[in-house]
Amino acid sequence: MTTKRYDAITDFYLTQLPEAELKNNILRTSCPFCETKPGIQPGQIQIFLNPESFFHGYFRCTEKCLPGGFPLYFARLKHLNMMSIPGYDPDREYETSGIEYPPNNMNNEVDSFMNRMTDELYDMYSRKGISRDVLREMKVGYNGRYLVYPYFEEDGNCYTARCVHPDKPDDSFWYGNEKLFTDRIMTFNSNDVDRCENGSLIIVENEENLMVVKSLGLPGIAIITTSGMEEIKASPFRWLNTVFMWVDHSSDSENAARRLATKLGFKARIVRWPDHTEKNYSLTQLSTDLQKEFQQTALKLIKDAKAFSPFASPEKEYLTFQDRMQLESGEDYRTMQSGFTLLDKALGGIHGINIIGGTPKAGKSCFLIQVAAEMARHKTPVIYYDFENGRQKIYQRTLCRLSRLSDEQIKSGKLNDEEHERLVQAKKTMQEFLPWFRVVTDRKLTPELMRRHIDFLRHETKNHYTLVVIDSLHKLPFKDFSERRTGIDAWLRQLESIRDELNVSFLVISELSRGKDDKYDLQPHLGSFKGTGDIEYSADNALVLLPDWDIFDPGPLEQRMNSVWLVASREHTPGKVADYRLDYPFWGFEEKIG
């Protein structure tokens, strides 16, 4: 059984208007405010009561005896006890504009201008979807040549107006008290901001667009210029729940709306024009073109407006999730293999952040150079950040392993025909995979630079995945050596972010800590890693490479064995992975299977 949630706003209006009828989420009854205004044809009050709507609780009179608003405005008009009104905050401090208004207003002139409106002008507005009722509500007039849009102040009086030629919108000027419109952002119908306290409001450009909004039965204000939209402060809108911005379809207008939305934060929503909309299209043009279909289209665009949010939209989140799922079931994901069968089986391939520790001279660099080169051979883009060996040594060791020739043999040049052919083929192989294998030795590396490297290589190789090798974690650049511990942890946070944003896999070499008697632990564990406690939180897999031989043992180097242990993993079972025989003197390892 579904429990119906209590709605204080609906309960408030039903209590105040007990004779009203609620149908299709609209409450209707005779307007209680018309009754107080003699000479006005009694109208009907309509209240939107859909809790899912941004305009839940907005009321208006069909005869427009007064402007519409939300519950707090309704309560003030009715002189109710504010303590009982939903959303009322007794500690809320209201500010005034601080403007000193002139002793004389132009209210009588406004009435005179209204009386000079012609049928031709009313027809012109009607074609744009603007009704006579709205024109009267906004007190739009005509001085014989120019349309007159009066700007009423918070004291309810008009001291300034903007005059606009009916056929030439660019031909306009301000009329009235110059002190009020000079060096000030003028807002048409500005008092709707106060009437919409705890509710929603729409901001548009120019007066005509605002009257189209009012013809929809919705509250709004107009800011005349894009510069005004950029310069207006957020403070007048602090008591609103939601602010919609519906500006003209132009780069200047949309950029201005985004800058205002940045000031307003979470409450801002920008109405997006459909993709096929022509440039510089306006709300008034949309109303003119659609006529009867305009209301349905406009309300849908308002409903679909996206919050100016620090979060990705749910729709984008789902699409990203779907894309990631498809990528992880694709060929690129499956090719993220190290070339060592048992290691790939233990880890499910090289994915996420893999920290590999080991004792000094255990062969960590040699092991990862081999993995990196083999993955690059299979056209996985690899960036090898080296702070240990140098670019030349990495290439030389790779060439030795590929050619099955020692350093001495290659450098001496004394090769038989078969050895020479192996060297030629190895060089050719290296040349072929080097576009996928980039070695970086820049000790001024930053996370931002790493991101640029990754973006470039992904673009060049047209691959969704990248392997980044870091040799080693403890030699990544820090601002100050004294900040080493915090610097390592900060780098780990960055690697997590890069992993998630750019589909990057990491192989990161770490040092191990010495135990008792200045010796390394024979049984590897997560606490073996040196210098940071964050590895246990950041690593998807933590591995340790341990030599099963004594460095002072004079026995044959090719018989030396190393073991790799998985000591911690988010998804896989820890334990011994495999043994690896040193492939001496070719700078590689062979995995012992069975």
pLDDT digits (tens, 9 = 90+) for 377-395: 999 999 999 998 999 999 9
pLDDT digits (tens, 9 = 90+) for 270-289: 999 998 999 999 999 999 99
At 484, the pLDDT band (50, 70, 90 cuts) reads: low
Comparing CA positions, the residue from 166, 268, 282, 146 lying closest to residue 213 is: 282
Do 132 and 64 contact (CB within 8 A), yes or no?
no
Q: What is the mean pLDDT of residues 120-128?
A: 97
Tell me the average pLDDT of the chain.
90
Q: What is the mean pLDDT of residues 27-55?
A: 90
Give yes or no for residue 551 having a pLDDT over 70: no
Lowest mean pLDDT among 165-174, 319-328, 481-490, 569-578: 481-490
Give yes or no for residue 481 having a pLDDT over 50: no
The span from the CA of 352 to the CA of 370, in Å, is 19
Give yes or no for residue 71 having a pLDDT over 50: yes
Q: By CB neighbour count within 10 A (0-12 exposed, 13-18 middle, 19+ buried), where does 392 fall?
A: exposed
At 6, the pLDDT band (50, 70, 90 cuts) reads: confident
Do 178 and 52 contact (CB within 8 A), yes or no?
no
Lowest mean pLDDT among 138-147, 178-187, 572-581: 178-187
- Helix (H, G, I), strand (E, B), or coil: what is residue 438? strand
What local confidence, expressed as pLDDT, does residue 535 receive? 79
Non-local CB neighbours of 73 within 8 Å, separated by 6+ positions: 194, 195, 196, 197
Question: What residues pair up with 438 in beta bridges, in sequence order?
Answer: 383
pLDDT digits (tens, 9 = 90+) for 516-547: 665 665 566 666 776 656 777 889 999 999 88
Q: How many helices (H) and strands (E) does the chain have?
A: 22, 23
Give yes or no for residue 2 having a pLDDT over 60: no
Q: What is the mean pLDDT of residues 428-435?
A: 96
What local confidence, expressed as pLDDT, does residue 533 receive? 60
What local confidence, expressed as pLDDT, does residue 86 receive? 93
Comparing CA positions, the residue from 163, 115, 167, 164 lying closest to residue 136 is: 115
The span from the CA of 558 to the CA of 336, in Å, is 29
What local confidence, expressed as pLDDT, does residue 382 receive? 97
Give yes or no for residue 566 having a pLDDT over 80: yes
Non-local CB neighbours of 381 within 8 Å, separated by 6+ positions: 436, 438, 457, 458, 460, 461, 463, 465, 466, 467
Read off the amino acid at residue 537.
Answer: Y
What local confidence, expressed as pLDDT, does residue 479 receive? 65
List of domains in the chain: 8-84 (no CATH), 107-313 (3.40.1360.10), 332-592 (3.40.50.300)
Using CA atoms, how far residue 222 sits from 101, 291, 304, 349, in Å, is: 21, 22, 21, 58
Lowest mean pLDDT among 193-197, 198-202, 557-561: 557-561
Q: What is the mean pLDDT of residues 495-516?
A: 88
Instruction: Determine if the peptide bond prior to 574 is cis (ω within 30°).
Output: no
Non-local CB neighbours of 565 within 8 Å, separated by 6+ positions: 524, 543, 544, 546, 574, 575, 576, 577
What local confidence, expressed as pLDDT, does residue 525 receive? 65
At 1, the pLDDT band (50, 70, 90 cuts) reads: very low
Question: What residues pair up with 467 in beta bridges, in sequence order?
Answer: 382, 505
At 449, the pLDDT band (50, 70, 90 cuts) reads: very high
Q: Which residue has the tokens 């950041």?
A: 538
Give yes or no for residue 98 having a pLDDT over 90: no
